[in-house]
Structure 1
């Protein structure tokens, strides 16, 4: 085939065609304001292109084409030229990848299997949950979902008593995606994307189930050699058979993870409250405890549980109905400790992938020592040991588990308890730890903690306390030491400041605050929890600990409820009346009692407070 020759003179932007009877092609002129574009140009196979003075980016010899930076007017000319078979402005393309949910990112899971921050694909050879079996005791799973079909490994339906644990609600599918949604270039990616997920259906289409079915699900998990049980379910009261089942699973080597509950109050739901279950509270993207999340003495860790984007069944289920929230099919966002629970179950799967020999107790120790401390230093009833950190946990598991680490010790050496002090008093504190003290702090009367770590004379940490800035009377000195594992110890003493003023051992009510929370069953309000917070101060205006507060509450129907409880270190105590009716509540402090103090009711800022619901 004979090739026709075309010569490009980029400097003058003229395309000259060397052919019989045709002497020139249209031209375009460059001006200072001419726009340039990056273009991909494919020439006809018969055209022999001679490129002169062109800003060539790439040449495609076999394809007879180029990528070049050319003026926009010339691009328009080439679009209509016979010797150009195709022309297109260059543009970017991206790889197909999964969506990294903010919660999965927040627990740093992607740094484990993806190797970098914000990764959305698994790097071969990294820890990713491979070989770890996670039983999700829930409403079932849409096992044909494109983000779950490869990691789904089986299960059982104890609601219908068959081998088809298909999700009719949507809750279980959402939890499954959080644990292990696949790395397949679409949808979302889970915390442990190569873990094996098993659907153990113990809840029906409305999300309800019996204790007997949950116990059967735990029994199935033990019989089928699961490694992790994830239970985003619960009740407000315990059951001895359920506790026994949890204990047996734990003793059989299964790590049991459960949601703390969504009542937004102090009190962990069951089975999360059992000692052999990991109770998981929920946080938002600002690392605050979610408003709905329960908290309390059994809170172990927290994980993201607000606006969590995960898998939903590809067919219509209960949660797609408008009266159940109208969630989308395929993928949707949900809130709850139900979402935080599988976050932690996924992190546990990563830990066990890193070291399959770890016992449930060792896994829990790793979570305790590697979680990011939130709230008060060390464990607290709101956040437990803190926000789980998959990267740190896997590093700890890879290194052979958690080393022995004792709590630090701290002692206020001088002054001594009960001593009278005046002017400027140097407070001496001793602190020690087997692996090193990282911080020593002090406060007066539960005020702001003052870091005195750098005030060290070789034997003691010290603080020069100007007592003249305090009122004469009783004051508490509190010391706190923190070690390198964020474990803490505290010590407190009481001293009397006497700078010639008047010492007053009286007390009064400083404030009364009332509030309420709705008690819901699904979407219906069935009552109200009414809270009354009382704050007590001494005669010098300082919060007073250990005061027994006597409270009388008048209810909407005219009847009364009474109670008494002691104030904490902040001088406050909170009373709650559970599941009351709408109407007006009036809380009245009837008495304050504390040895060595007299209650002066005339000093009360307020004695009663009312709240109308």
Structure 2
């Protein structure tokens, strides 16, 4: 776990309500966890639970605290909001304290500044001490960050998948990911004032909390008809929802500006143009909205010059209040760039919006332009969105996909403008208008539209306002390094990260140019890669369908195997007619262990004659094969060969060699230890045709190990040593005893010993037997 200060991690610019007399200058910090998503918190404040006043006094004394506010006490104690002097905290102990209190913590954390770092250090120290303490985090809207929001129960699909909200598809409006991007920057907050002039406002749960009515009343139906005389009593209600329907509230529909509109200014329309613009100007001057929506139009065929001048003048007054004005192009399938004047669409101070179908082609009823000028249709939004079936009945949130017309395209575009203003409140209305045009998709509307073919792109517009580049995911590979060499069979760590346009980590897929897809995940590994040069590519695809990648080149090489012969021991000489145990070890540096048994083999020659060929690390040269002569033993493992020689002599005429038998252990023994040696119980017996049973005083036990190691484990007192006859010795039997065998630093996790029993008869002839003992060393 790591925690560091990242000055580039910006805290949300949000006004925090004052608390008590001392809490009037509360400030916000930011913390980002391993997932990269920033979370705001109030600096220099914590919420503390104490059982009695003395405990609170001690806490205040420790941290120079002042109580800002308190809940009433209960039987178990009391909760307090305390302003603390976080400068007293020592960041050096932060990670240790936090891990002590929360051992599950891991990953990289970032904080926006030193104050946030010290506040975390304070909290971690108190958590470690057992104090019940909570940081004062900022809450955020639920649903948008994880890409799942739902509205009316009759709509089964996620808003992020709606064709007119999502990134990708034909329209590719990018509204839903624009919400995510704003939220990642702490700017998806209620801050925009949106004016709608229309008729038929009926309040419902999808309206903003704050609404000011201007010459309008709730439940007052629209007295004007819509296009071609169609009645539209609740036109204003669906216009509001198309632009700013509240998001993820389980009711109705959703509009682009739903998460950012703080206040709706509802202005009733009028029958005559004068009344309409008179009311509009008064309301705009009184409320100074950020966005003004005019979902109406009028065609003027007589006196167009003065009508244009008058409209421009009135629209300029509205625009000078600071508002961006959007207006519908009309549902007459007309080219507005003719002698007819369409107002207010053709005012130079108005952004005129046409409608496009779900395939991004020009909607059949939408008016359009044939000149790309500010007095023509400037940009296109969705012609149809979801609206309420019974907008006049707030209790019924059932929706329809057929809320259609440029009267919904205009507030939709206005809603995107509101998102841009939330991204950068310093932008002027004119700058927002330019930005919407500059970032729009271009083309796809069809051959009829020879003027502007711009289509709204909320994600690109918001990203531009934030100064963020929304490109392919950023992918980095930390392991392996390019040019790295690994062994055949060696596992390869694959570590990397991929972040999307939100700075959020997304899954990686790893592919090899030789082996195809080999793994998924940010920290994973592959057991082995095939030999040769590999281009390892890590790729990730974000929610927009954009894929980013990074690559490194790795070479898989076959490192040489080391091999050693443990048995027969070096310098072995023995009488004919007894078997010889063969025991070898190997180490493959590519797999950090022995080669497979199938890749280990033995060849034994007497002179130039091959007398045995076997596989595996352990084998036996049968007694019938052991006749007088000089033998060469070749052990091969993983392509590496080693040799050892031994001799076999004839048994003198009239004599027979003794027989040695190891009775404990009766077969290969494997023991484990965490120390440097183990105790092994050994026992054996010996017989001879002439001497009968041979006493343990004539037994000698030796152990032969890696690297030529040899040790005498036990030697009986009557073993021939070549010393003077008549030496006086204390009788010692080696028929059974416990021996100490060491672990050897051979590069292998297992130390291999070959334990040999030699039994001497009265004439000095020797019989042998051997058994392997393997010691596995465990790391404590």
> TM-score higher than 0.5 here?
no
Greater Rg by CA: 2
The TM-score normalised by the length of structure 2 is 0.33
